[in-house]
Chain A
């Protein structure tokens, strides 16, 4: 059975700290890995990673994929209170004739001032 596991499930840090969120997966027909940030409502898209070893960066956020070891990490440097959210990892698999997203349970990040 395809699965995506995120760790830690929750994390509490102070502003200015650097955090690393983990996502490991076991799926058939891997296509891509996506990271989303979910605050109060809809998840918002952060990154899509398809190739190993190529870092994606957006401001203080960066992410990398290791297709050999089947995991990805999301780094956030110099955290701010606005980074408080649930971070979701999703793996795209090709199944039943379409691209399907399998989500992890998420990491709940709380950044305190």
Chain B
């Protein structure tokens, strides 16, 4: 069965420091991968999605970036964090095609607090 991992689970970082969040998926090949942010009391906002190694698309302009160095690895980064980057970051995967392509499955999330 497929599983998705994220780490770290929680992170407290000062403003201006760098960020690296990692997501890995097991039990599937060639998944679509997604990064979302959930601010307190709000829905999930899509930040990045990837359909393959090295293929990243950004949904919103921001000081974050994403990379996909391996098929089942997705990384969210920042060179300098802002206070507004605080939130709950979720990684998700979906099949590329077939009847389950619309379903996205989420990792456990990383709660980031920028101080």
Which residues of A are at the interface with B, using a C-beta cutoff of 8 A? 4, 31-32, 34, 36, 41-45, 48, 50, 88, 90, 92, 96, 98-101, 103-106
Contact = CB atoms under 8 A, between A and B. Distances in A.
Interface size range on B against A:
20 to 34
A107 B93 CA distance: 24
A101 B104 contact: yes
Chain A facing B: main interface SS: strand
Contact of B109 (A34, A41, A44, A105): A41
Contacts of B102: 31-32, 34, 48, 50, 92, 99
Contacts of A92: 102
Interface string B52-92: 00000101000000000000000000000000000000100
B43 A106 contact: yes
Contacts of B34: 101
A26 B39 CA distance: 22
Interface of B: 32, 34, 41-46, 49, 51, 57, 59, 90, 94, 101-109
A99 B107 contact: no
A42 B108 contact: yes
B10 to A, nearest CB: 11
Contacts of B109: 41-42
Nearest to A43: B106
Contacts of A41: 108-109
6 tightest A-B CB contacts, nearest first: A103-B43, A42-B106, A103-B44, A32-B102, A105-B43, A92-B102
B3 to A, nearest CB: 11
A30 to B, nearest CB: 11
